[in-house]
Amino acid sequence: MTSIALGAHPSFGFNDGRPTIYSGIIGDVDHHDQFLFSAAGLTVQTVLDEAILDIPHSRGSAFERGVLAGGLGTTIFYLTIGRTGSVSDIELMAAMHGMTKTQSTLLFGGISALQIWRIHRDGHYANFFTRPGRNGRFDVGVEVKPN
């Protein structure tokens, strides 16, 4: 959507077998537009997670947990394993001189860390993460404790 809003023509393709959306923006010419495109995915995911955590509603559904887990997992991936590479959003943001890789990691990682802390402290998301179980096994959090 960001690419279209900026007047470019995005396309879908593969990079080393990985599905990739190409912005259609000439990064060497339009640094700012390419930075906006690269930052859009993580920004929208962060805003969506914040909306789930902030807007009053009945909390803790399986769908909601899945959206939160997917958003946090995606962000953590991009800030660790997916931090480098020819089509990495973090790499492209740094290449466009909008933010360094460290700044991007601290910004998006800091927000994700706060969201994880909030999920951990909210009883609606009880056992959202794995926890030690009986006999040395791990229990995966799917049970919701009432408030």
Range of the domain at 113: 31-139
Tens-digit pLDDT profile for residues 114-135: 998 888 888 788 767 666 666 7
pTM, full prediction: 0.76
pLDDT of residue 13 exceeding 70, the answer is: yes
Structural domain tally of the chain? Answer: 1
Assigned domain for 46 exists: yes
In sign, the C-alpha dihedral spanning 47, 104, 119, 127 is positive
Assigned domain for 58 exists: yes
- Within a 10 A sphere around the Cβ of 99, how many other Cβ atoms? 18
Tens-digit pLDDT profile for residues 38-96: 889 899 999 999 999 999 988 888 888 889 999 999 888 888 888 877 778 888 888 88
Assigned domain for 103 exists: yes
Assigned domain for 13 exists: no
